[in-house]
Amino acid sequence: MEDLQKLRQKNLETIFNPKSIAIVGTNKVKGTVPHDILDNILKADFNGIVYPVSPREKSIKGIKAYKYVVDVPDDIDLAILVFPSSVCHMALEQCGQKGIKSVIIISAGYKEVGEAGLKREQQLIEIARKYDMSFIGPNCLGVINTFPDTRLDASFAREMPARGNIGFLSQSGALCTAVLDYASAKHIGFSKFISFGNKADISEIDLLFYLMNDEETKVILMYLEEVSDGQALMDAAREVIEKSGKPILILKSGRTNEGASAAASHTGSLAGSDEVCDAGFEQAGIIRCDNIEEMFNRARAFAYQPPPASEKVAIITNAGGPGVLTTDAAISRGLKLAKFSEETTAILKKALPATANINNPVDVIGDARSDRYLAAIQAAFDDEDVAGVFVILTPQSMTDIDTIAADVARIAEGQTKPIYTSFMGEKDVASGIDILQRANIPHYILPESMCDSYNAVYHFNKHVKSKAHQLPALDNIQEGLARNIMAKVHVNGRTYIPEVETIDLLQSYGLPVPQGKLASSPEEAVKIADKIGYPVVMKVVSDDIIHKSDAKGIELNLGSPAEVKDAWERIHTNVKSAMPEASITGLYVVRMITGSEEIILGIKRDPSFGPVLLFGLGGIFVEIFKDVSFGVAPLSREDAMNMLQQTRAYKILQGARGQNPRDMDSIVDALLRLGQLAVDFPEIEELDINPLFVMDEGRGSVIGDARMILAKTE
């Protein structure tokens, strides 16, 4: 597998920087994909040699054409296949025979059209493996490399984008053309632009690694429709961020919770696939974006301006209202207004009229021309407390918009602090915005987007880039014992595993289990209660009962042998009347816990991210409040703590309303152990610990109830 990855990296180098290209299956019919690909390569002034391969034509666009790729007398670095899918495999086979290692397959008609297409796709993979080839596609728009020494536009997009430092990867070809058009209007350039289609061979992970080492790329953007291997994507993202410091922004479509409602456990019904994707991305440091606008807003901040050293900004505006709006937007996103030094306020006082506000946000007043903006911006840049400058402009009759834009661009040159702009309005400010965008000064229609983008860059540089993903060493894990327990419970195709056996398993991984035992008679129950101490709780144990409280199968706070015996009778009567068919194994007698907070922990298996953990406020209200967070296992200690901090329950655990703070370290420890269990036992589909009783700080926690669902065995 590692060799295959190395091969792909080597072949990707030739895909992006070929010296010679064969366009296999091209033709003379303008407006068709086979023709337009050749046309684009020629129009982009490709720096190598182009060989059209067409079974019928002697020449295309004045260039000699070859009937088959094997007929080309010279070596070829890259083949671009544009034949229909019914014959693409034949062309690929010939590419292999010719010794071509790098291929882009543009043609559609594969996995996306169903079973027959999937077979054809498989055939392409087999041929590629046979000849050590790597290919992008099929079913893609192609690849663009703006690097001047190459200038490759191997796509059927309408125009080649400008050179820039953003690398863009997309699973959807159609979205690529929309993005190119959007970017062109805003003067956004790209280093590499890649549509990877069905990713039958080269995947987004290979491309991430390629862009990690690509000197032209500073920021990586990706559009994804499906995450086929969440863990691999997380690992790759962590490596890319750690080694290159490049941010990865992903627009992932499909925010649905399909299938979650059918799950049998709390964790199952709470953990939708999209929440899991959010959690996985955040853990790996990936910045998830909700739409194209947001993605490019942030991308421009990353790509064009230096990162801010702190969250303290200076706002410079020619209008009070927008200044307040921007201040609100900044504060609500965790930014702060910088406090100017006396020197700065003195400079501002001298440069601005008496009516101007010389404190942050600085109001240069509605009649301000470029000179006032320049003076205020320079003073802000020079102030030690300022980490970034926001320039707001509204168009008054005397506002020299274009001059201000040009001056902002000039003053920003060579600065080590970032400058972002928001020229508010549309028609009158359009030419000024154009000047800013051409000069790579990030411009935002809304102050909110400006603050969000600043915060994204700040957060990434401050917290994500330096984050090490260190898995903690856990003591007291008895994997062998756990395997024995699992072998015993997993007999006769049982999938629902009730409390007692689940707790045995959890104990083997060092989780805090309650003092208690299974009783098969009222006398035995009294004996157990006498031993562990009163008060006790008694609960029905049955393979057939998932929700014990619904069947009235729990009795709390039993303080004496007589109460235990009475409760024994009541539980049996209740359960028989609620669920006459249920077979009762016995009653579980445990020590009653008081003075604690109830939380829920759980495991769920996600089809693309694998084992997922859940944390939330527990008890019977878990599904009503939905105050939960997720994490992809295995977790680092920091990941587990983040899970706690993401919920409202965190405040309660910290000791709200005069309560003592609870033992959060014990929750983090339980999450880490649960994560390890989930990784070691893939057969666990779902597991709930509900509730986990969390005691005061330093006193630990105890499992109140637990159950588990195992995968069906064949």
Q: Give the residues lining the site for other proteins (CB under 8 A).
A: 27, 29, 32, 54-57, 83-84, 86-87, 90-91
Residue 105 CB, nearest approach to other proteins (Å): 15
Between CA 495 and CA 615, with CA 677 as vertex, the angle to 5 degrees is 90
Name the residue with tokens 């996985």.
280
Instruction: Say whether 177 sits in a helix, a strand or coil.
Output: helix
Q: Crossing angle, helix 479-489 and helix 499-508, to 10 degrees?
A: 160
Q: What are phi and psi of 517, to 5 degrees?
A: -155, 155
Cis bond upstream, residue 138 (ω within 30) = yes
What is the rounded CA–CA span in Å between residue 604 and residue 272?
A: 10
Nearest residue (CB) to other proteins, 96 versus 510:
96
Residue 488 CB, nearest approach to other proteins (Å): 55
Name the residue with tokens 């209008």.
319
Residue 56 CB, nearest approach to other proteins (Å): 3
Q: What are the E-state strand segments in 217-356?
A: 219-224, 248-252, 287-289, 312-317, 336-337
Report which of 602, 589, 627 is spatially closest to residue 690, judged by C-alpha positions. Answer: 602
Name the residue with tokens 């965190």.
650
Alpha carbon 575 to its chain centroid, in Å, reads: 45
Nearest residue (CB) to other proteins, 91 versus 694:
91
What letters, b where the CB count within 10 A reaches 16 and e where it falls short, cover 331-341?
A: eebebebbebe
Nearest residue (CB) to other proteins, 27 versus 318:
27
Q: What are phi and psi of 41, to 5 degrees?
A: -60, -40
Nearest residue (CB) to other proteins, 38 versus 91:
91
Partners of 166 in the β-ladder: 190, 219
Q: What are the E-state strand segments in 290-373?
A: 312-317, 336-337, 362-363
Residue 84 CB, nearest approach to other proteins (Å): 6
| Tokens at 691, concatenated | 């509730």
Residue 49 CB, nearest approach to other proteins (Å): 22
Report which of 293, 284, 189, 152 is spatially closest to residue 231, judged by C-alpha positions. Answer: 284
Nearest residue (CB) to other proteins, 22 versus 237:
22
- The residue type of 662 is R
Residue 174 CB, nearest approach to other proteins (Å): 20
Residue partners of 179: CB distance under 8 A and separation at least 6: 168, 170, 223, 292
Nearest residue (CB) to other proteins, 60 versus 211:
60
Nearest residue (CB) to other proteins, 91 versus 338:
91
Residue 90 CB, nearest approach to other proteins (Å): 5
Residue 82 CB, nearest approach to other proteins (Å): 11
Residue 97 CB, nearest approach to other proteins (Å): 14
Residue 133 CB, nearest approach to other proteins (Å): 18
Between CA 537 and CA 546, with CA 540 as vertex, the angle to 5 degrees is 115
Integer Rg of the chain from CA: 32
Nearest residue (CB) to other proteins, 91 versus 464:
91
Residue 91 CB, nearest approach to other proteins (Å): 7
Looking only at the bridges linking them, the beta strands covering 102-105 and 388-393 are unpaired
Nearest residue (CB) to other proteins, 55 versus 472:
55
- The residue type of 470 is Q
Residue 491 CB, nearest approach to other proteins (Å): 51
Nearest residue (CB) to other proteins, 68 versus 147:
68
Nearest residue (CB) to other proteins, 32 versus 291:
32
Residue 25 CB, nearest approach to other proteins (Å): 8
Nearest residue (CB) to other proteins, 156 versus 588:
156
What is the rounded CA–CA span in Å between residue 367 and residue 362?
A: 14
Nearest residue (CB) to other proteins, 88 versus 633:
88
What is the rounded CA–CA span in Å between residue 312 and residue 361?
A: 12
Name the residue with tokens 């290692």.
101
What letters, b where the CB count within 10 A reaches 16 and e where it falls short, cover 13-38?
A: ebbbbbebbbbbbbbbeeeebbbbbb
